[in-house]
Amino acid sequence: MLVRPLTGRLPRLPLPRGAVDTQIHIYLPGYPAQPGGPGLPVGSLPTPEQYRQFMTWLGIDRVIVTQGNAHQRDNGNLIACLAEMGSVAKGVAVIDETVPDAELDALAAAGVVGARIMDLPGGAVGLSALEAVDARASARNWMVAVQFDGSNILDHEARLSNMQSRWVFDHHGKFFSGVTPDSPQIDALKRLIDRGRCWFKFAGCYESSKSGGPDYEDIAAVARELAAYAPERIVWGTNWPHNLAKQQADYPDDADLTDTVLGWLPEEHARKLALVDNPEALFGLTAYQE
């Protein structure tokens, strides 16, 4: 059975106080997987209690919990997990144009600050609903997390340029066809960033890297380019509990992965931006106080 380590050596690059992990999924018993999505993660259920141990290990102070694909459009597990986590957590839910305002009110009261677009297999709401989700989110000052195969970003640039919400391009862009810092897809991403509403998330590099670990040099090259181009637009997430890992050999060492990814940021100030200031701006979080 897959076992997720919750403690170990400390990262060599210490996280700044107030650090926000902007990409995780957590689960509680009693919320089964829904039709249309993948099953629940393998191994023991990755619970809020486990994630709190993980936070202590890596030095994370705050977290954004994203609705997992397993639960599709049923946000019940997310709401329960946010209640379990308390004030250190906010959430990104799955909504569409049919969700009543009263349900959005309840999500906001539970700590939801964003909506998710996932246009990949198993996703609940895809790019066909982009404008509708954007309208619902911007009306509440929520952000939108957008995930699709970034190889096709040129096809979607015009629509993304018109978004009214703050939004983040998830998971290193998931450029499944492969890109370099000089690729036209990265030029398009820079244009979107320049419009003032787009952020870029460092999370789950192993999901789209062609060169592979431990260095993920293809992802690293683009990450360094974007961190230099727009340091105020980078956010970071652990992608815990690494749902694509089905056996122990596939499961990353979280301290090593943290060091690798944060090493793509050039210095301490850039890391504070990506882990504290930028997520506060993107997700509308209150400024961290000791």
CA distance 192 to 118: 19
Q: Which two tokens stand for residue 191?
A: 């244009």
Q: How many helices (H) and strands (E) does the chain have?
A: 10, 8
| Cβ-Cβ contacts under 8 Å for 21 (sequence gap 6 or more) | 55, 58, 60, 62, 63, 64, 236, 237, 238, 240
CA dihedral 105, 109, 114, 120 (to 10 degrees): -80
The angle at the Cα of 114, spanning 111 to 118, to the nearest 5 degrees, equals: 130
Half-sphere exposure of 21 (CA within 13 A, CB side): 28
Strand partners, 201: 235
The active-site residue out of 75, 239, 243, 278 is 239
CA dihedral 131, 137, 138, 143 (to 10 degrees): -100
CA distance 30 to 33: 10
**DSSP letters of 38-82?**
--PPSSS---HHHHHHHHHHHT--EEEEEPPGGGTT--HHHHHHH
CA distance 237 to 21: 5
Is 77 annotated in the active site? no
| Cβ-Cβ contacts under 8 Å for 139 (sequence gap 6 or more) | none
Task: Show which residues are catalytic.
Answer: 239
